[in-house]
């Protein structure tokens, strides 16, 4: 495997993943703001760019991981949230898997 070409090959893939994530986040925030304004307010009225804070990011992650969407009884929101949780987990596995592969190759080639 050509480890020098790996970042060039994977950069567009990771860029695409980030774009998809932004779209999913925007859909989530829109749905919460329109159909569940109390929950949206409780999360700090998060947004993609304007009110993007660490607290809003944690509130969003907590919403997904704790599966807080279930109490809202919104099937679209539940499907979106479940998909986002799986998408995020897959991204983390891919990211850290590649990190450890590259780090392992770098340390083995330095020895």
Average of per-residue pLDDT across 70-93: 97
Q: Is 53 helix (H, G, I), strand (E, B) or coil?
A: coil
Contact 11, 64 (CB under 8 A): no
The predicted pLDDT at position 110 comes to 58
Q: Is the dihedral of CA 49, 51, 54, 60 positive or negative?
A: negative
Residue 37 pLDDT > 60, yes or no? yes
Average of per-residue pLDDT across 74-92: 97
What are the residue boundaries of the structural domains of the chain, listed by start? 6-110
pLDDT category of residue 77 using cuts at 50, 70 and 90: very high
Q: What is the pTM of this model?
A: 0.86
Q: How far apart are CA 42 and CA 38, in angstroms?
A: 6
Q: How far apart are CA 104 and CA 1, in angstroms?
A: 13
Average of per-residue pLDDT across 17-24: 96
């Amino acid at each position: 495997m050509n480890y020098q070409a790996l970042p060039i090959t994977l950069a567009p893939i990771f860029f695409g993943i980030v774009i998809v994530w932004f779209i999913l986040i925007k859909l989530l925030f829109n749905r919460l703001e329109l159909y569940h304004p109390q929950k949206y307010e409780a999360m700090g009225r998060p947004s993609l760019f304007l009110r993007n804070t660490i607290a809003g990011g944690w509130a969003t992650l907590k919403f997904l991981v704790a599966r807080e969407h279930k109490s809202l009884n919104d099937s679209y929101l539940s499907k979106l949230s479940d998909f986002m949780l799986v998408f995020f987990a897959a991204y983390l596995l891919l990211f850290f898997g590649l990190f450890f592969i590259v780090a392992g190759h770098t340390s083995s080639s330095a020895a």
